[in-house]
Structure 1
């Protein structure tokens, strides 16, 4: 995702002037900190491997740490940062992405809260190679 931002392949994050891996905010360490001309923000990346009938889902197990990241991201957005939760689907051909409400309903609730409170939720599929992951296209998100 870091390389995708640098190369301009992730259109929503186009125009980044400064980027840094692993940056702290509150009690969380987000995967990416960035600065644009008139804003700054964070990106938290979640790798998605769970698939059911072509539907990509996250998480595949309950994740308290994942929920904490969502709450911290919403807090950052409330304080003027841009915030992104980026679901990197590690397979091609997903019909859409949805939070896994069965496995972790609290994560699904937190993601919905984030979406309603200014955090941008993105999902992209990818082509997983032996030595790299190539981000492909943006995938629809259904709550």
Structure 2
């Protein structure tokens, strides 16, 4: 996934979830934050960031916040991108599951991928068909890192809990079902639910694992102007 018109900037403040005040070569500007999570550990005053400049005159802001430097980590914080990263990874032939019959299935480049597919009372991010495998796959972008561990969520997510329960029902109905955490950085040791912030999500995730839902994570190679999934990361529940 490549971005165009990327510029370096400095984060100054975030008056609300949707906008930030940033300093670019043009001076102080208002920037759209493409992530409504808290991101308190990322968006600290004077943090080095990268923004994308847009030329659409209908937009209220000319900039989108794409990535931030946190110590040695470059973190993509665009919450709209993990689904596209996941699709690219699936089509690259690197996405595989152990089927309920004990066979390992590697999804092919010809996999049929349908976004935002309704199941029950939810829209699941991706529906996959490859051979005789039918699978609902929910994608979660992860930007929270603490002491080398990636955690999700960074704020309570009742919607996330609901999606986990829907995936359990899909599993009962004979579909393969899974959650893929796209860790929007490189350099973490493992991934785990953030029980401190939202214990109900962690509990639902552990229940889903017991019910046969695949719980997976992949880290990413991140540059200011690009992001792609790289390697599977251990999930500890």
State the TM bucket, normalised to the shorter chain.
over 0.9
Larger RCO, structures 1/2 (Cα 8 Å, 6+ apart)? 1
Q: Distance in 2 between matches of 1:87 and 1:48?
A: 7
* Residue-by-residue CA offset, 1:12-36 (whole Å, 9 max, x unaligned): 3523631111111011111110112
Gaps of 5+ in 1: none
Alpha-carbon separation, structure 1, partners of 2:235 and 2:136: 20
Instruction: Output the CA distance in 2 between the equivalents of 1:73 and 1:131.
Output: 33
Give the conservation status (yes or no) of the 8 Å contact 1:2–1:21: no
Q: State the TM-score, normalized to the length of structure 2.
A: 0.58
Query: Which ranges of structure 2 fall in alignment gaps of 5 or more residues?
Result: 1-85, 98-105
The structure richer in helix per residue is 1
Q: Give the stretch that moved more between structures: 50-59 or 11-20.
A: 11-20
Partner of 1:105: 199
Distance 2:112 2:236 in 1: 31
**TM-score, scaled to structure 1:** 0.94
| Rg (Cα) greater in structure | 2
Following TM superposition, the consecutive aligned residue runs of length 4 or more in structure 1 with deviations greater than 4 angstroms are: none
Q: Which residue of 1 aligns with 2:182?
A: 88
Q: Give the aligned CA root-mean-square deviation in angstroms.
A: 1.3
* Counterpart residue number, 1:58: 152
| TM-superposition CA deviations, 1:82-110 (whole Å, max 9, x none) | 10100000111111000000000000000
Partners in 1 of 2:111 and 2:144 — Cα distance? 34
Name whichever structure is richer in strand by fraction. 2
Task: Give secondary structure in 2 for the equivalent of 1:122.
Answer: strand
CA distance in 1, matches of 2:227, 2:146: 21
Distance of 1:117 and 1:142 partners within structure 2: 16
The CA distance in 2 between the partners of 1:24 and 1:133, in whole Å, is 28
In the comparison of the two structures, how many residue pairs are matched? 143
